[in-house]
Amino acid sequence: MKLKTAIVCALCALSVALFLASTRAAGQAVNVAKTKDQAIDDLVYGNRILSNEGILDAFGHISVRDPQDPTHFYMSRGIAPSQVTAKDILKYDMQCNAVDAPPNTGYGERFIHCGVFRARPDVNVVIHAHSLPLIPFGLTKTPLRPLFLMAGWMGTDGVPIFDIRDVAPDTNIMVTSNMFGDALAKVLGKNNIVLMRGHGETVVGTSVQEAVVHAYYAVVNAQLQADSMKLGGNITYLTPGEAANSAKSVGIGRPWDMFKARVGKIE
């Protein structure tokens, strides 16, 4: 009987170990691009997915660091994300100058991207969007906090808010210089998302897949948090432990594949 119990316990322990191993694997960033071609292919799909899923409209953009030359990154020329193809992708240096293109080519707010890439060697992908559900959390004293399974990656200290008014008065609220890009990256710090007062958000990640999925679920979390607040009462947010463990455990490959299938083949 004791032997049988020991065998059962051993099998249980093995099952738990295998489960934890599989969930950890699922939570790792998938498909960090290793070549320029893969990075650009991911980038084009990232543009289309973010547009398709309503995270980006005519504005907003996504960039990816060159996996073979980390002092440069790729981003589309200044067109709507829904229209981006591989031939629209430009290469930029760390000062946001387009390589082999006329001066001041590209999005006016490209300085968000090089500012973050300069400050965060661990970041390979930057997304800037103007998601309406996130705007109120940049305007009020109510911190955006993770409250469901897919948002643990945001951390539980409250998402930081960049107010460009702290840098200069009466701007057009857009990040249009390296000085503003540096200031934004400083407020982002070691976080994976920063809100921008009266403007939108910037999400960063190690792969296009990770950043795109996180940008999507940041909006979902904001909608859920606003809906929960309307119901009244105390909201039960994720604990730091729950946030950290769910961030490690939730796979991003499956939502990425689903989003990509919705886009279909890009001509």
Phi-psi region of 245 (alpha: psi -120 to 50; beta: other; left: phi over 0): alpha
Are 94 and 71 spatial neighbours (Cβ–Cβ below 8 Å)?
Answer: yes
Closer CB to Zn ion, 196 or 252, in the complex: 196
According to DSSP, residue 149 is labeled G
User: Does the active-site annotation cover 267?
Assistant: no
How far, CA to CA in Å, does 43 sit from each of 85, 95, 197, 254, 262?
A: 9, 20, 27, 18, 16
User: How, if at all, do strands 89-93 and 125-129 pair?
Assistant: unpaired
Closer CB to Zn ion, 5 or 172, in the complex: 172
Are 113 and 75 spatial neighbours (Cβ–Cβ below 8 Å)?
Answer: yes
With a CB cutoff of 8 Å and minimum separation 6, the contacts of 180 are: 111, 115, 164, 167, 168, 171
Of 109, 201, 210, 267, catalytic: 109
Q: Of 111, 140, 99, nearest to 202 (Cα)?
A: 111
Count CA within 13 A, CB hemisphere, residue 226. Answer: 14
In the sheet with 161-162, reading across from the earlier edge strand, the strands are: 89-93, 72-76, 61-65, 125-129, 200-205, 193-196, 161-162
The CA distance from 147 to 91, in Å, is: 38
Contacts to Zn ion from residues 109-128, by CB under 5 A: 109
| Element (DSSP H or E) covering residue 111 | helix 111-119
Q: Which residues are catalytic?
A: 109
Residues interacting with Zn ion, by CB under 5 A? 109
